[in-house]
Amino acid sequence: MPREKFDREINAVSSELLILGGMVDKAIESSLIALKDMDNQLAEDIIYQDDFIDRKQIEIEERCNNLIATQQPMASDLRTLISIIHIAVELERMGDYAEGIAKIAIQMGKEGPLKPLIDIPAMSEISRDMLRKSLDALVNRDLIAARNVLKQDDQVDQLYQRVFQELLGLMTTDVDLIKRATYLLWVAHDLERVADRATNVSERVIYLITGKLES
Amino acid sequence: MRDNILNVKDLNVWYRDFQALKDVNIDVLSNKVTALIGPSGCGKSTMLRCINRMNDLIPDAKIEGEINFDGENINSNHLDPIYVRSKIGMVFQKPNPFPKSIFDNVAFGLRINGFKGSIEDEVEKSLKKAALWEDVKDRLKDGALELSGGQQQRLCIARTLAVNPQVMLMDEPASALDPIATLAIEELIRELSSEVSIVIVTHNMQQAARISHRTAFFMVDENRCGYMVEEGETNQIFTDPHDERTESYITGRFS
């Protein structure tokens, strides 16, 4: 193995990416707790922590850029570094959605959610599961697992449609509910986007493994 | 149907008892740059030398198989190697201009081939194609050895182009040049491919990636015999090679 230092660098930046994934997963989980428990302190904390997520993404991108500039990666090395750059951006954007949910939690204030949260936590669980499974697929170079993540996105889309219809129904029957229903609509929309981003992560993992970009 | 300028079929090469190249099959596409890459001793230079009958000069060299060019096997005995070399030119690693004037270097091939037209026009045309004309137009009578290394190599390219070859073979043509001269030669190779098909041997993988349309990867077996592992679009070879041996070579994990 004549490229031990380079291999160590790739492994190190891959580990940083998994750390970033863990930070984002935690942020999404916390944002749902803040929403449900009307915990403003926790919501403020998520907003504060998002800066660390942003910085981690920049750090990962810079490390990849340096490796590309100095090591002339080829073939699977090149695909790995390009994929890491893309995945880090996807993760950073997922962090922004968690921050968005935290801000909604603060805006809702003491009133809390309009109705008991059922489908929204389910969306969160599936989205976070997709996120974790896509990163596992990255670590294990597991093509089947990556493709399975793409299928899960349909479940999130269906839940989003159901939440959307339900909230729309409430708004049309009682205009006084529009504001609080809109809050939950935003939350559902953010989670639907998280699932889309997790899908993008899996598509990058598929590219890393196969060398083919799928859409 | 792909547009081949050369078709190499079951090529095997021996030097006395030593087999240097085994079962090579490759189509060289017209007006493309084909790079031959691989570790030292993998037979890529041997391959190049076969294509313009350079191995004729080596006693005990034995060549089996076909190298078809223009409907004929160039190894067949009735073909004159001088004719083959006028159609399939070669540029070497170290610039090797003749110790003559710049003009005479380029005119040399035309004169020995009994060229009937205007030699001045042909020399100018060849020097322009080799991107050297602007540098030397006012000193064509100067000695070729007064030129810089990069200019000398472009002069050798002009000398090769003067006899209007259909294929140009290049054996590490930039390895003796500095980075700026190297990039100039690379640009030139890419431009020239619109009128001449080019086969280039290079140790520099980034160079192969930059300038070639197609790349062939060669390896050497346990008996030190060279063979071709895979050949394909350069983009594919460098981003997604099909063979694990190619992958480990181009990612630098070849042991």
Per residue in B27-48, pLDDT (tens digit) is 999 999 999 999 999 999 999 9
Contact B252 A3 (CB under 8 A): yes
B98-117: pLDDT as tens digits = 999 999 999 999 999 889 99
Reduced 3-state DSSP string for chain B: CCCEEEEEEEEEEEECCEEEEEEEEEEEECCCEEEEECCCCCCHHHHHHHHCCHHHHCCCEEEEEEEEECCEECCCCCCCHHHHHHHEEEECCCCCCCCCEHHHHHHHHHHHCCCCCCHHHHHHHHHHHCCCHHHHCCCCCCEHHHCCHHHHHHHHHHHHHHCCCCEEEEECCCCCCCHHHHHHHHHHHHHHCCCCEEEEECCCHHHHHHHCCEEEEEEECCCCCEEEEEEEEHHHHHHCCCCHHHHHHHCCCCC
**Dmax (CA) of chain A:** 70
**Plot region of B43 (φ>0 → left; ψ -120 to 50 → alpha; else → beta):** left
Chain A residues within 8 A of B252 when measuring between CB atoms: 2-3, 6, 74
Contact A75 B209 (CB under 8 A): no
How far is Cα B161 from Cα B196, in angstroms, rounded to an integer?
Answer: 9
Q: By the 8 A CB rule, do A197 and A130 touch? A: no
Determine which of B240, B245, B248 to mutate to test the interface with A (most A C-beta atoms within 10 Å): B240
Q: What is the pLDDT of residue A3?
A: 84
B114-117 contacts at long range (C-beta below 8 A, 24 or more positions apart)? none
* Residue A63 in tokens: 């490390």
Pick A76's closest partner by Cβ from B206, B251, B255. Answer: B251
Q: Which residues pair with B62 in a beta bridge?
A: B14
Contact B238 A79 (CB under 8 A): no
Query: How, if at all, do strands B18-29 and B167-171 pair?
Result: unpaired
| CB within 8 Å of chain B, chain A residues 73-92 | 73-79
Q: What are the per-10-residue average pLDDT scores of chain A (215 residues)?
A: 86 97 98 95 98 98 94 94 98 98 93 86 97 97 97 97 95 92 96 98 96 85
Pick A75's closest partner by Cβ from B206, B238, B255. Answer: B238
Q: What is the pLDDT of residue A35?
A: 94
Q: Give the closest-approach CA distance of A22 to chain B in angstroms.
A: 30
Determine which of B37, B251, B255 to mutate to test the interface with A (most A C-beta atoms within 10 Å): B251
Q: What is the pLDDT of residue A9?
A: 95
How far is Cα B160 from Cα A157, in angstroms, rounded to an integer?
Answer: 65
Q: What is the pLDDT of residue A1?
A: 55
Q: Which residue of chain A comes nearest to B247, CA vs CA?
A: A75
Q: Which residue of chain B comes nearest to A212, CA vs CA?
A: B240
Q: What are phi and psi of B50, to 5 degrees?
A: -65, -35
End-to-end CA gap in chain A: 35
Q: What is the pLDDT of residue B2?
A: 61
Contact A1 B253 (CB under 8 A): yes
Q: Which residue of chain A comes nearest to B245, CA vs CA?
A: A75
Q: Which ipTM did the prediction report?
A: 0.75
Listed in sequence order, the residues at least 6 apart from A179 whose beta carbon sits closer than 8 Å to its beta carbon are: none
Q: What is the pLDDT of residue B75?
A: 87
**pLDDT beneath 70: ranges in chain B:** 1-2, 255
Q: Give the closest-approach CA distance of A59 to chain B in angstroms.
A: 24
Q: By the 8 A CB rule, do B221 and B22 touch? A: yes
Q: By the 8 A CB rule, do B196 and B162 touch? A: no
The rounded Cα B26 to chain-centroid distance in angstroms is: 15
Residue A51 burial by CB count (10 A; 0-12/13-18/19+): exposed, middle or buried?
A: exposed
**Plot region of B41 (φ>0 → left; ψ -120 to 50 → alpha; else → beta):** left
Contact B252 A6 (CB under 8 A): yes
* Residue B184 in tokens: 């100039």
End-to-end CA gap in chain B: 38
Q: What is the pLDDT of residue A215?
A: 74
Contact status of B255 with chain A (Cβ, < 8 Å):
yes
Query: How, if at all, do strands B226-233 and B214-220 pair?
Result: antiparallel
**Plot region of B223 (φ>0 → left; ψ -120 to 50 → alpha; else → beta):** alpha
